[in-house]
Structure 1
Amino acid sequence: MHMIRDVLDKQVVDRNQVKIGKVDGIVAQLRQGKPPRVIAVEIGSIALARRLGPLPGRWMVILVAKLGGERHAKPHRVAWSKVRDIGLDIEIDVDVRKTAIFGWQDWLRDHIVGRIPGA
């Protein structure tokens, strides 16, 4: 399998077919004398900014921590063992309603969009 071609930037859906986002990063464990082993995929703006370089990654961490708090200052990681299928979408064995993946969107809805008249 070609991890970059087959996994990176693909849509991620949970077990209920709810779209979560796209795979923005791949986390691998380096092992001496053996090939790297994929342990997780990352989803979110921080992982995406890190792909542009260390400086944009640090800026995004600072921005997200200021706006959403320290608990949002890390990308969302999904263990590779939770990946069920890699096809058109990446299907994971997680119920998104029981995670904090949409925490940022919920905060934005409650504090910004909800205050716009007619929203």
Structure 2
Amino acid sequence: MQLLRDILDKQVVDREQVKIGKVDGLVAELRQGKPPRVVAVELGAIALARRLGARPGRLTARLAARLSGKQQARPHRIAWTKVRDIGVDIEFDIDVRRTKILAWQRWLRDRIVGRIPGA
């Protein structure tokens, strides 16, 4: 498997097939004398901005922290051990409703979109 080709930018779904987002980053563990091992995937604007460089990543993290608190200033991580299936989508053995992954979308819906007349 070629991780960057086969994993990065793929749709992520939870065990109920609810779309969570796309894989924006991979977290690897470096082990002495052994090949690196993937330990998590990262989702969200911060991980995506980091792919453009350190500066866009820092700016995006600062913006997220300012708008919605420090807990949102890091990419969302899902442990690699939670992978159930890799096909067209990557299915994780999680319930997205019990995570903070969609908190940003809820924040936008409640504070911005919900205040637009006719939205």
TM class by shorter-chain length? over 0.9
For 1:76-103, what per-residue CA distance to the aligned partner results, in whole angstroms no more than 9, with x for missing partners?
A: 0000000111110000000001001110
Give, in whole Å, the separation in 2 of the partners of 1:4 and 1:20: 19
1:101 corresponds to which residue?
Answer: 101
Q: Which structure's residues are more often strand, by fraction?
A: 1
**Match for residue 35 of structure 1?**
35
- Secondary structure of 1:88's match? coil
Q: Give the whole-Å Cα distance in 1 for the aligned partners of 2:111 and 2:60.
A: 20
Q: 3-state SS of the aligned residue for 2:30?
A: strand
Amino acid at match of 2:95: D
Matched residue SS, 1:35: coil
Aligned to 1:21: 21
Query: Which runs of 5 or more residues in structure 2 are unaligned?
Result: none
Q: Distance in 1 between matches of 2:94 and 2:112?
A: 28
TM-score (norm 1): 0.98
Whichever residue aligns with residue 57 of structure 1, its letter is G
Q: CA deviation at 1:113?
A: 0.6
Q: CA RMSD in A?
A: 0.5
Instruction: Tell whether 2:104 aligns with 1:77.
Output: no
1:47 equivalent in structure 2: 47
Give me the whole-angstrom Cα distance separating, in 1, the residues matched to 2:41 and 2:115. 34
Q: Could you state the TM-score of these two structures normalised by the residue count of structure 2?
A: 0.98
**Identity, % of aligned pairs?**
71
